């Protein structure tokens, strides 16, 4: 990607005083200009559709089509509003903050690598990269949260731990700790030796007759006695004070020992999963780690098992969590609950048949959401503030507890990340926003992962996103949820709203089919009036989209357009499954290719495609026989059908797609910048 993914590094701008700055994304004004025209022309088209083009002879179909168009138009307005103020952020790395934040004050960070039956080597690569991040060794811990509870994974983590303990970075800290410990030992030995002597000396001082104290050498003794009393005010004799000093030093030694033991940075947590009780999937896995008492970092970096972080990850992200208080001369906590960074993949086939590239989402869309303080937390490549997560989690737990106090039994699985939805990430972010926490989207690519490279896994993932999002609409409608700001409500609602698009798409696909076989059209006439109204709206819409997608390969934009339409059966299924109250299972997205051809998964799309093709052929045949009554309608419907077919072709092609034979996953080395 272009400019936006690699923001200017502020440390290279020494003249700039400050640690963060943000500006409007480039070409936003062009976009706004086109967006306004788009909304006006679109509105004009739509009002013409309502007032002048409903076909009374095909009322039901007409109404369905105009409703589908209205749905699209309303969605478009929300989409445009979300892009109104896209923010590009720049930040100074943690170690270059001005004024500097001393290293001892840097926060402790826990890395949570959530996994569930992924291959051990994959998790190992991620854990290694996490340990190699540029951060003080005594402030970074990497936890593999293994929901599959596998012995091989545990062994890998233990092996990594030993290896890590022997690494130079950890050894340096260990040496430092050991030196401090040696100092403490020396002090302790001296104090212990003193303990024996001090009581006798004190007794001697106390018993010294006053006239003896007046004699020349002994007057020093009197001075000493006064000194001992004045410098060490407080009850107790000198001997008692020495005893107290020994106690404190021993406590210090114990603390130091613990710190040394705490240098084991690679750790394994597998929660017990008792039969017959809800486990709350990924949310449960992460919450268990938070409440198990085994983790205590101030910040949590969540990574999916395959997402390899770059060394500078924490350096680039942590500064957002602090704000320099100029009037008190120190850093305070900001009100930021999480910082999200982009997701990208290193195993994408050249033309990305499964539509995983998301530069539009991890570009203008996230930047737009950021501008409205509604950045989208996507579950990986993000750092969260533990305090925010727990505070909001406790609050939601208290509400659940009020309704049913049996929920206490699963507090450690539900008390942090939201467990109410199978897209726990999005729900958690919404709750944080509703509680008044702020968020940041930082557009620098800091971790890359693996995308599922078969259709089955891709569809599972998309279905989970759709179902999870709709679940949140059902349980915590953002339009009604207390605490959210107006534009945050619109942002969250738009995400949910967009998953109803399957129905609109169905209408758009069915209309030409009905025309081909019955001649019925859903508008009064596909005449010049239709073209006059439709064409400007369509062209302005395209222009606006080009302004948004500036710098993103057009092939990628085309691919997402194809998928948005072609996944209509999945979106319809998601709506039905959520609103018919079937319980939804969190489907773990497989990261390894499942071989095979998946035409069965795209049956509905195939049927529609075949009907469209047959329809075109049938009408063309009629045309040749001179039976075509309305050439305009034929042209419009054929054009629309061909366009639809090219959209549907994406998933059909993906269903039969096979990887090139020699493709091995080129895992990037963790040090690659």
Partner 1 sequence: MSALPYTVISLNGNIDVNSSDALRRQVMDAVTPDQPRIILLDCSEVTFLDSSGLSAMVMALKLARESQNQLAVAAVPTQMMMLFRLTGMDKVFKVYEDRTAFETAMTVPS
Kindly list the residues in this chain that would bind partner 1 in the complex (CB under 8 A).
Answer: 290-291, 293, 296, 298, 386-387, 390-391, 393-395, 397-399, 401-402, 408-409, 411-412, 415
User: In the bound complex, what is the minimum distance in angstroms from residue 288's beta carbon to partner 1?
Assistant: 11
Q: How far is the CB of 481 from partner 1 (least distance, A)?
A: 16
Which one, 368 or 416, has the nearer CB to partner 1? 416
In whole angstroms, give the CA distance from residue 303 to residue 114.
7
Q: Are 456 and 601 spatial neighbours (Cβ–Cβ below 8 Å)?
A: yes
Q: How far is CA 587 from CA 53, 116, 185, 555, in A?
A: 45, 11, 55, 29
Which lies closer to partner 1 via its Cβ, residue 351 or residue 409? 409
State in angstroms the smallest separation of the CB of 389 from partner 1: 9
Residue 250 beta carbon to partner 1: minimum distance, rounded to whole angstroms:
17
The smaller minimum CB distance to partner 1, of residues 405 and 671, is found at 405
Q: Which lies closer to partner 1 via its Cβ, residue 400 or residue 422?
A: 400
Q: Helix 501-518 to helix 59-82 angle, to the nearest 10 degrees?
A: 140
d(C-alpha 528, C-alpha 536), whole Å: 13
Give the pairing of strands 140-146 and 266-269: parallel
Residue 431 or 462 having the CB closest to partner 1: 431
Residue 459 CB, nearest approach to partner 1 (Å): 37
Which is nearer to partner 1, 185 or 409 (by Cβ)? 409
10 Å CB burial of residue 215 (0-12, 13-18, 19+) is exposed
Q: How many CA atoms lie within 13 A of 190 on its CB side?
A: 8
Q: How far is the CB of 568 from partner 1 (least distance, A)?
A: 42
Burial of 263 (0-12, 13-18, 19+ CB in 10 A): middle
Residue whose C-alpha is closest to residue 305's, from 591, 595, 541: 591
Closest approach of partner 1 to the CB of residue 402, in Å: 6
> Shortest approach of partner 1 to residue 395 CB, angstroms?
5
Radius of gyration for the chain, computed over Cα atoms and rounded to the nearest angstrom? 33
Say if CB 433 and CB 374 are below 8 A apart.
Answer: yes
Contact 109, 301 (CB under 8 A): yes
Measured from the CB of residue 336, what is the shortest distance to partner 1 in angstroms?
A: 16
The DSSP code for 523 is B
Nearer to partner 1, 52 or 277 (CB): 277
Report the alpha-carbon distance of residue 370 to residue 599 in Å, rounded: 39
- Phi, psi values for residue 308, rounded to 5°: -90, 115
Least separation in angstroms between residue 537's CB and partner 1 is 50
Closer of 260 and 564 to partner 1 (Cβ):
260
Of the pair 234, 274, the CB lying nearest partner 1 is at 274
- How far apart CA 461 and CA 587 sit, in angstroms, is 7
Q: Name which of 12 and 405 has its Cβ closer to partner 1.
A: 405
Exposed, middle or buried: residue 593 (CB in 10 Å: 0-12, 13-18, 19+)?
middle
Mapped onto helix, strand or coil, the DSSP state of residue 324 is strand
In sequence order, the β-bridge partners of residue 90 are: 21
* Distance in angstroms (rounded) separating the CA atoms of residues 546 and 539: 11
Minimum Å distance from CB 296 to partner 1?
A: 4
564 Cβ contact partners less than 8 Å away, ≥ 6 residues apart: 501
CA-nearest of 160, 30, 158, 12 to 83 is 30
Contact 598, 455 (CB under 8 A): yes
Between 408 and 621, name the residue whose CB sits nearer to partner 1.
408
Q: At what angle do helices 151-165 and 168-207 cross, to 10 degrees?
A: 70
| Choice between 295 and 366, CB closer to partner 1 | 295
**Beta carbon nearer to partner 1, 356 or 386:** 386
Least distance (Å) between residue 43 CB and partner 1: 45
Which two three-digit tokens encode residue 534?
A: 């439709």
Residues 6+ away with beta carbon under 8 Å from 461: 452, 587, 589
Nearer to partner 1, 227 or 398 (CB): 398
Provide the minimum distance between the beta carbon of 411 and partner 1 in the complex, in angstroms, as a whole number: 5
Q: Is the dihedral of CA 157, 133, 320, 433 positive or negative?
A: negative
Give the containing element (helix H, strand E) for 571: helix 568-579
Which of residues 382 and 413 has its CB atom nearest to partner 1 in the complex?
A: 413
Q: How far is the CB of 222 from partner 1 (least distance, A)?
A: 40
CA 385 to chain centre: 13
Both structure tokens of 43: 């509105």
The least distance separating partner 1 from the CB of residue 472, rounded to whole angstroms, comes to 21
């Amino acid at each position: 990607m272009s400019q936006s993914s690699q923001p200017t590094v502020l440390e290279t701008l020494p003249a700039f005083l400050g640690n963060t700055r943000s500006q409007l994304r480039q070409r936003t004004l062009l976009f706004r200009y086109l967006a306004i025209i788009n909304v006006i022309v679109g509105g004009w088209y739509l009002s013409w559709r309502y007032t002048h083009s409903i076909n009374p002879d095909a009322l039901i179909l007409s109404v369905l089509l105009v409703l589908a168009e209205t749905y699209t138009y309303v969605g478009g307005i929300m989409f445009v509003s979300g892009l109104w103020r896209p923010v590009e952020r720049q930040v100074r790395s943690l170690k270059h903050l001005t004024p500097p934040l001393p290293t001892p004050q840097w926060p402790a960070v826990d890395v949570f690598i959530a996994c569930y039956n992924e291959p051990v080597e994959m998790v190992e690569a991620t854990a290694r990269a996490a340990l190699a991040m540029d951060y003080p060794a005594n402030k970074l811990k990497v936890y593999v949260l293994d929901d599959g509870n596998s012995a091989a994974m545990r062994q890998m983590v233990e092996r990594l731990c030993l290896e890590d303990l022997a690494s130079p970075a950890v050894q340096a800290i260990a040496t430092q700790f050991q030196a401090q410990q040696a100092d403490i030992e020396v002090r302790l030995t001296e104090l212990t030796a003193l303990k024996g002597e001090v009581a006798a000396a004190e007794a001697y001082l106390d018993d010294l007759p006053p006239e003896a104290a007046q004699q020349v050498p002994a007057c020093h003794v009197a001075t000493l006695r006064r000194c001992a009393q004045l410098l060490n005010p407080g009850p107790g004799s000198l001997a008692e004070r020495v005893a107290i000093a020994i106690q404190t030093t021993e406590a210090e030694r114990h603390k130091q020992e613990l710190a040394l033991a705490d240098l084991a940075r690679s750790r394994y947590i597998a929660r017990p999963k008792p039969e017959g009780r809800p486990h709350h999937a990924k949310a449960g896995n992460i919450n268990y780690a938070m409440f198990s008492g085994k983790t205590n970092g101030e910040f949590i970096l969540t990574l999916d098992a395959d997402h390899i972080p770059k060394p500078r990850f924490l350096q680039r992200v942590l500064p957002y969590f602090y704000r320099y208080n100029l009037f008190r001369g120190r850093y305070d906590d900001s009100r930021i609950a999480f910082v999200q960074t982009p997701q990208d993949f290193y195993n994408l086939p050249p033309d990305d048949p499964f539509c995983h590239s998301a530069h539009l989402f991890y570009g203008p869309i996230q930047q737009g959401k950021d501008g409205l303080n509604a950045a989208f937390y996507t579950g990986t490549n993000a750092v969260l503030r533990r305090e925010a997560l727990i505070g909001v989690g406790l609050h939601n737990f208290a509400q659940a507890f009020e309704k049913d106090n049996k929920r206490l039994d699963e507090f450690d699985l539900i008390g942090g990340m939201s467990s109410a939805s199978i897209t726990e990430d999005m729900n958690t972010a919404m709750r944080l926003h509703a509680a008044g926490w702020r968020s940041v989207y930082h557009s620098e690519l800091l971790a890359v992962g693996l995308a599922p490279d078969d259709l089955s896994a891709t569809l599972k993932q998309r279905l989970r996103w759709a179902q999870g999002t709709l679940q949140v609409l059902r349980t915590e409608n953002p339009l009604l949820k207390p605490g959210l700001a107006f534009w945050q409500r619109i942002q969250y609602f738009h995400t949910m709203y967009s998953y109803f698009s399957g129905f609109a798409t169905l209408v758009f696909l069915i209309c030409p089919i009905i025309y081909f076989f019955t001649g019925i059209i859903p508008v009064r006439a596909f005449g010049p009036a239709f073209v006059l109204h439709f064409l400007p709206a369509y062209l302005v819409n395209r222009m606006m989209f080009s302004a948004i997608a500036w710098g993103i390969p057009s092939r990628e934009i085309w691919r997402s357009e194809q998928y948005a339409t072609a996944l209509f059966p999945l979106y319809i299924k998601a709506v039905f499954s959520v609103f018919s109250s079937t319980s939804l299972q969190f489907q773990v997205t497989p990261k390894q290719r499942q071989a095979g051809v998946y035409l069965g998964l795209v049956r509905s799309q195939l049927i529609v495609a075949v009907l469209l093709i047959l329809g075109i052929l049938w009408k063309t045949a009629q045309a040749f026989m001179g039976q075509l009554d309305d050439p305009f309608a034929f042209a419009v419907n054929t054009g629309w059908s061909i366009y639809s077919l090219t959209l549907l072709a994406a998933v059909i092609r993906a269903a039969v797609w096979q990887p090139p034979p020699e493709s091995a996953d080129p895992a990037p080395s963790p040090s690659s910048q």
